[in-house]
Amino acid sequence: MNSLKLQSVCIFQAHTLYNSVYARTNGNETFQEKAFTLQTDYWGENSNLSFTEQQKITHNLLGELETIRVSYREEFKSIDQFVKHFENENLQPGVRQEFYEMIKFISLSFSQFMGEFAGRIIRESVQLLNIIPPCEFDAVAIGSVARGEATPYSDLEYLFLVKKKTPKTIQYFEMLALTSYFLI
């Protein structure tokens, strides 16, 4: 493993550890600051983002994510009412076409919102890196979002399609991927 990739892996692991400790210490900001220090070391001169500015971006993104989740949890509650109706009638909801269609509609709709949310995270990350992408690219959802099966706590997985694969593009998109992780 080359030294840059090893550095990325170590920063990712350390950042994850700091975030985990932050969550378990009821929001002790020291651990958030340590995670941010790792990020700024990783970005080097490519970003002049302050801790407060990044907190604002992250809080906005997390607020948006929570709004999406709350709205879709409510949608899924409507399915509970549907199931109760069929239980009262002694029918099996799992075999009913209406039940299937409700689940499918809610999951497809949520998947679309999650795809749009991922796009926002990637756009924010490109701006934060403050580096012009080395080539044209697109981000594509994969996993449950791509299949239209996302739920409020599904993983957000995507990949980058690049026009030309070079060491420079690999380095940039690894930085972009890690930066998008930093934001959420």
- Looking at residue 91, what is its pLDDT? 58
pTM: 0.75
Instruction: Tell me the pLDDT tens digit for each residue of 63-108.
Output: 988 998 888 888 877 777 766 666 666 655 555 677 778 888 888 9
For residues 3 and 84, state if they share a domain.
no
Q: What one-letter code names the amino acid at 99?
A: F
- Interatomic CA distance for residues 116 and 119, integer angstroms: 5
Are the beta carbons of 130 and 46 closer than 8 angstroms? yes
The number of distinct structural domains making up the chain is 2
57-72 b/e (C-beta count within 10 Å ≥ 16 → b): bbeebeeebeebbeeb
Contacts 24+ apart (CB under 8 A), 34-41: 35/182, 38/11, 38/14, 39/11, 39/15, 39/179, 39/182, 41/11
For residues 17 and 56, state if they share a domain.
no
For residues 80 and 1, state if they share a domain.
no
For residues 108 and 18, state if they share a domain.
no
Range of the domain at 12: 1-46
Q: How far is CA 44 from CA 25, 142, 175, in A?
A: 29, 30, 11
For residues 60 and 40, state if they share a domain.
no
Are the beta carbons of 101 and 95 closer than 8 angstroms? no
DSSP 153: T
- Looking at residue 83, what is its pLDDT? 67
Pick out the chain residues at pLDDT < 70: 1-5, 46, 82-96
SS3 (DSSP) at 25: coil
- Looking at residue 146, what is its pLDDT? 93
- Interatomic CA distance for residues 110 and 148, integer angstroms: 8
For residues 41 and 128, state if they share a domain.
no
